[in-house]
Structure 1
Amino acid sequence: MSTTTPRPSGKIALRDRVLRLAETITTPLLPEDYLDIVAPLRSGADLRGRIVAIDPEGPDAATVTIRPGRGWRGHVPGQYIRVGVDVDGVRQWRAYSVTSVAGRADECISITVKAIPDGVVSNHLVRRAQPGTVIQLDQAQGDFVLPDPAPAKILFLTAGSGITPVMGMLRNGAHTAADVVLLHSAPTEADVIFGAELRRLAAEGAIRLVERHTDVDGMLTVDELDDLVPDHCERQTWACGPIGLLDAVEEHWAGRGVAEQLHTERFRPTVISPGEGGTVTFSKAGVTLDADGSTAILDAGESAGVLMPSGCRMGICYGCVLPLREGAVRDLRTGDITVAVPGDGVLIQTCISAAAGACDIEL
């Protein structure tokens, strides 16, 4: 039986010839690559954003205002986004809370970044980045958000840059329908990110603000909560800050029998005590190294010169996932052990997994 293939119409044939010619001229790049240069925020491209402003927020922090591309789907106050930033020729991904009002008239969003010691991306965004820079974006995610309707009484318990998701909630009206107490810790009064804005809200009676300046007052302990916020166990609480503080807060709320009223956001994985460690083999790279039980496989591999995929480095984005061909690894956050036998190819996150004996990674 014979078949007849219909001839393309004149318009389609002409379009195909033009595209083939364009691909020939632009080789080794494709026409889409040049569109990325002249219209990086266009619909259909990978989601990107353009930095339109960088405004200081104290001595070591800045608010970065971004105009996202047409694929941006919006955010819920309290959520975070991952941003991909090229620093010295290397693309680095980090996660930051969205601190702007949802649905701004100018369609921009903002993140507020605290520069941390040795922080490659945070120091770049605070001290080196310039308006006009195009960065990579992911859609907003995270469940550190208020329910609808909001509870009648809320406690925000934050420290350092942990104020950023809460600021996003406050700017979107969290205090308008609830009795809000904010207990925030920072080294000094000048180190309080959004300090002037928070104090203005307190002066207007919109929130009750309790500041703890740790260089003067010492570190906040959960034993002080009964005095600082006597009704804290009656409030739905959103806590964000250093790991040690959150661990203590979770234990305190559980001990009072109100663990279900506590919601926490952890920016960094919890690191457990060193385990047994072991040898790590990167089979395709032909590299074998010794790693202790407290060092993430991602860090151990990079220290040995192995080119490792990575992303947020916090166990959030799954940009570092690789197959575990054989052996055992320990989750640095929970202590859970994952074991693989030959043929399993179990996927692990190398940024939050450490060797728990000999293991073979497919890379």
Structure 2
Amino acid sequence: MQDEETVLSIEGLQVDIHTAAGVLHAVRGISFDVKRGQTLCLVGESGCGKSMTSLALMGLLPRQAQRTVTRFTFQGQDMRTAGKRQINALRGNKMAMIFQEPMTALNPAYTIGDQLMEHYMLHRQASQAQARERAIELLEKVGIASAGRRLGQYPHQLSGGLRQRVMIAMALMCGPELLIADEPSTALDVTIQAQILRLLADLQAELGIAMILITHDLGIVARIADRVAIMYAGEIVEEGEAASIFGEPHHPYTLGLMRCIPIPGRTEPGGKLGTIPGMVPSLIGPQQGCAFRDRCAYAQPCCSEAIPVQGNPDGQRWRCIHETLEVSA
């Protein structure tokens, strides 16, 4: 049952892309809920379907991609039957996204002010003066000094960190209920990255926004996530509360990712970190069984068949034949 605090509910989301080699199954039947004030982190290595999931939610898939979904509700509203006008009214207004690379996401031909003010004037029927006031307010909120002067500048006149802050301000202009942040700190140095993540966490706590954070950095996840969904080959292979995922991972892929992280006090300086052998399989053509089985130390012959989804009373779910894993394996 969906409660009033559930902002987004997804069940059976699938994205297929038609290519010359066949149908690429980029996202394969994933399901999750995000509640008000909650941060869900989508985690996985490059190519596992994280960004494609976010584009599917925002209705921004490439033309050759096809989305199918069993349930897709936003604030109780069925988005499967929503028309183009209805989606446009929500996108950038109640549903906002911070894209991966701010230099390409911002239009180099328009000033920062024009890009910040445009959709606020559109969605809120605000005057240019009201939109300018709101833009200055948000730029100051995200920590940009001399905000009024920045409105007249172009993206290339700002540093990477400032451009990312502008993207955050742009996403918050209309006061969204859901914020999707796709690798918001990947292109930034470590110091700026920490500032951006702290800023997102503070803004979310202040505004009560539901947030989906897409990343492959488990260090970020440990600091900011309430719930974690581990994606591999287009599927969510494990999902649950962050403390449960880090404390007792049940899927071999999750465990493999954990072993790749240095642990203060336990990992010796200069010591070897864990690795996951092999490569992500091709998702073109029919898919059957566990996609991780060729890289998994726990694989059994039955892993080539349909894999059950298991769970525990804490709400942790995983797609694997094993109930628990021997960590020493």
Normalized per residue, the structure richer in strand is 1
TM-based fold match above 0.5: no
Higher radius of gyration, 1 or 2: 1
Normalized per residue, the structure richer in helix is 2
Larger RCO: 1 or 2 (CA < 8 Å, sep 6+): 2
- Superposition TM-score tier, normalisation by shorter sequence: 0.3 to 0.5
